[in-house]
Structure 1
Amino acid sequence: MHDKKGFGLRIVLLAALLTTLVLGGCATTTRDTDTLHQVSVLNALLLGEYDGIISVGELKELGDTGIGTFDTLEGEMILLEGTVYQAKADGTVVQVGDETLVPFAMTTYFASDISEGDLSGLADINALKERLDQTIMATSNDFNRFYAALITGSFSHVRVRSVPGQTKPYPRLSAIAAEQKEYAFEDVEGTIVAFRCPQYVNGINMPTWHLHFLSSDASRGGHLLEATLSQGNLRMGDMKTYQIQLPSSSSFASMDIANDLTKETHAVEGVK
C-alpha cells in the first residue's frame, strides 16, 4: 500500500513538472530572428498588384520590424518595435489597425547580432549605404545573406516620399512614382528601418538597401530618398532563411513577372 501511494505521488509530481515546463516554454517562446518573411514579390508590385493578401495583424505575427506598403498602395509602411505606421501621401503618419491589408512587405524579429556602433557625419544616403556595406565587409563579409539595420539618431536633412491609394485598373508603379509626394525635414530625430537583399533575388525583391524613415515622435516618415546623418547609432542583424507568401489572385496568376524590370525599380527608388 505504501509503495502504491509513493508511486502515485511520483506520477502526480511528474505531471506537474511537465505541465510547468510546457507552460513555461509557451511563455518564453524564442522569436525567430533568422528569417526574413516577405509578402508577394517586387515585380508583381511594379506591375500593379496592389490588392492586400494578408492583414497587418498577421504580419505582426511574423516580425516586429519591417517595411512595405498597404492595400491599393496607400502609403509607406514602417513596422518598428511591433507597431505598424502608415506614412500617407498627405504627409501625415498614423498607426494602423490589425485588420488593414498588405500587398507587399518584408519583416523579421530584429536582433542586432552582427554589429552595433556609432555613426556620424554621413553626408547623404549613398554614404550611409556604403557605411552599412562596409560594416558587413568588416563582420561576416557575406553579401549573399539578407540583412536588417536600424539607424537611430539626429538628421540635419531628410527627404521622404509616399503615394496615395490607387483605383482599378491599377497603373504600373513607375507611372505612380513619377507623381509621388515628397517631403523634406530639417533637424529631425528619428529611425531608419533598412533591409538589404542580395543580387540574386532581383525581381523577387530589390537588391541592396531599401530604407524607410520614421521620426522619433512618429509624426513624419516615408520611403527614404535623402538623408544627412549628424550623429546616430547603428544596429544590424542578418537572416539566412527567406520565406515568401505569394498572392492567390487571378491577376497575379496571369502576370509575366519574369521580365527584367530593373529600370522601373530604379525609377521608383529615386527622387522625383
Structure 2
Amino acid sequence: MSEANVNQLFQHSTMGALVGAQFAGSITFADLLKQGDIGIGTLHDFDGELVVIDGEAYQIKSNGQAYLKEPEETTPFASVSHFEPSLSFEVSGGMTRLEIEAKIRAYAEISPNIFFAVKLTGTFKSVDTRVVPKQMRPYQPLVEAVKKQPVFHFENVKGTVLGFWTPPYFQGVGVAGYHLHFITAERDAGGHLFAYDMLEGTVELAPQTAFKLQVPQTTEYYEADLNNPNMVSDIEEAEN
C-alpha cells in the first residue's frame, strides 16, 4: 500500500447511478480490493449487501446469510478504504447508537464536512439489518427495488459494524450521514444496518483526507439518463 492511499476513500460509481437503476456489476473485486480493505456497497444485479472486512469481500444475500466472493465477481457500487484509524474509544457497560454517535461528534478532528471511516468491533445487545433482494432485468428504479426487503434481528451478537460518514453536501455521490453494514464475528450473517445498541467493544475512526471517484466504464452507464430531479428524495426514501 502506497502512502498516497492511506486514508483515501475510494468509491466506484454513485448513489445517483443506483437511483437510475445502474445495477450491473462494473468492477471486479480483484480490482476493488486493491483500493481498500474495509468498505460497503452492493452486488451485481443489486443482489444484497456488500461488506469488505480485512481485505475480503462478503455478500449478504436476502436470506441474511454471508458468502465470501471470488476475485472475478463484480459490484456496481462500492466504497472502500485502507483502514488506518487515528481515533478510538472503548465501550463498556453498554451504549446506544445515539450515544456512540454523540461521542464521535465530540472529537474535534471529526468534522461534519469530511468523510470518515468507522468500525465498531465487539458485542452488541441488538442489531437490526435489512437486505435488498436480487433484481432482474429490466431493472426497476431504486425506490421500487427496495420496497420489499427482508429484515433481520440479532441479540447478544458478536460482530463488526463498519462503513462511512458522508458529508451532507455529497448526497447523491454517496449517502449523506452514516452508511453502515454489519457482519457477525463468524462472518456468516449480516446486512445493511439501521439500528443497534452496543454492549462492549471498540469504536475506531479514520478521517479520510482524500476522495477518489471512479465512474463505471460501460456503455450502459455512459448512455444512461441519470439527471433525475428527484434523486435526493429518492435516496432518502430508499434509506429510510
TM-score, with length taken from structure 2: 0.93
What is the alpha-carbon distance in structure 2 between the residues aligned to residue 86 and residue 177 of structure 1? 17
Secondary structure (helix, strand or coil) at the match of 1:57 reads helix
Q: Which residue of 2 aligns with 1:218?
A: 187
Q: Which residue of 2 aligns with 1:188?
A: 157
Q: Which amino acid aligns with 1:263?
A: S
Q: Which amino acid aligns with 2:171?
A: N
What is the alpha-carbon distance in structure 2 between the residues aligned to residue 177 and residue 258 of structure 1? 18
Question: Considering only CA atoms, is the larger Rg found in Structure 1 or Structure 2?
Answer: 1
Q: Which residue of 2 aligns with 1:157?
A: 126
What is the alpha-carbon distance in structure 1 between the residues aligned to residue 141 and residue 24 of structure 2? 13
Q: Comparing both chains, which one has the higher relative contact order based on Cα–Cα distances under 8 Å and sequence gaps of 6 or more?
A: 2
What CA RMSD, in Å, does the superposition of the two structures yield over aligned residues? 1.7
Q: Which of 77, 85, 108 is matched with 1:139 structurally?
A: 108
Q: Which residue of 2 aligns with 1:67?
A: 40
**Contact 2:110/2:207 (8 A) holds in 1:** no
Secondary structure (helix, strand or coil) at the match of 1:262 reads helix
Relative to structure 1, the CA distance from residue 176 to residue 131 in structure 2 (aligned partners, 3 Å threshold; closer, same or farther) is: farther
Secondary structure (helix, strand or coil) at the match of 1:143 reads coil
Q: Which amino acid aligns with 1:84?
A: A
Unaligned ranges ≥5, structure 2: none
What is the alpha-carbon distance in structure 1 between the residues aligned to residue 196 and residue 8 of structure 2? 28
1:102 aligns with 2:72: no
Q: Which of 263, 268, 271 is matched with 2:233 structurally?
A: 263
Q: Which residue of 2 aligns with 1:22?
A: none
Relative to structure 1, the CA distance from residue 157 to residue 167 in structure 2 (aligned partners, 3 Å threshold; closer, same or farther) is: same
Alignment of 1:226-241 (within 5 A): 226-241=195-210
Q: Which has the higher helix share?
A: 1
**Contact 1:83/1:95 (8 A) holds in 2:** yes
What is the alpha-carbon distance in structure 2 between the residues aligned to residue 264 and residue 258 of structure 1? 9
4+ runs deviating over 4 angstroms:
28-31
CA deviations on 1:211-245 (whole Å, 9 max, x unpaired) are 00011011111100111111121111111211111
Secondary structure (helix, strand or coil) at the match of 1:237 reads strand
Unaligned ranges ≥5, structure 1: 1-27
Q: Which residue of 1 aligns with 2:100?
A: 128
Relative to structure 1, the CA distance from residue 168 to residue 126 in structure 2 (aligned partners, 3 Å threshold; closer, same or farther) is: farther
Relative to structure 1, the CA distance from residue 31 to residue 153 in structure 2 (aligned partners, 3 Å threshold; closer, same or farther) is: farther
How many residues get paired? 238
1:266 deviation in Å? 2.2
Secondary structure (helix, strand or coil) at the match of 2:5 reads coil
1:118 aligns with 2:87: no
What is the alpha-carbon distance in structure 2 between the residues aligned to residue 245 and residue 258 of structure 1? 20
**Contact 2:119/2:203 (8 A) holds in 1:** yes
CA deviations on 1:233-263 (whole Å, 9 max, x unpaired) are 1111111211111123344333233634232
Relative to structure 1, the CA distance from residue 173 to residue 127 in structure 2 (aligned partners, 3 Å threshold; closer, same or farther) is: farther
Q: Which amino acid aligns with 1:88?
A: K
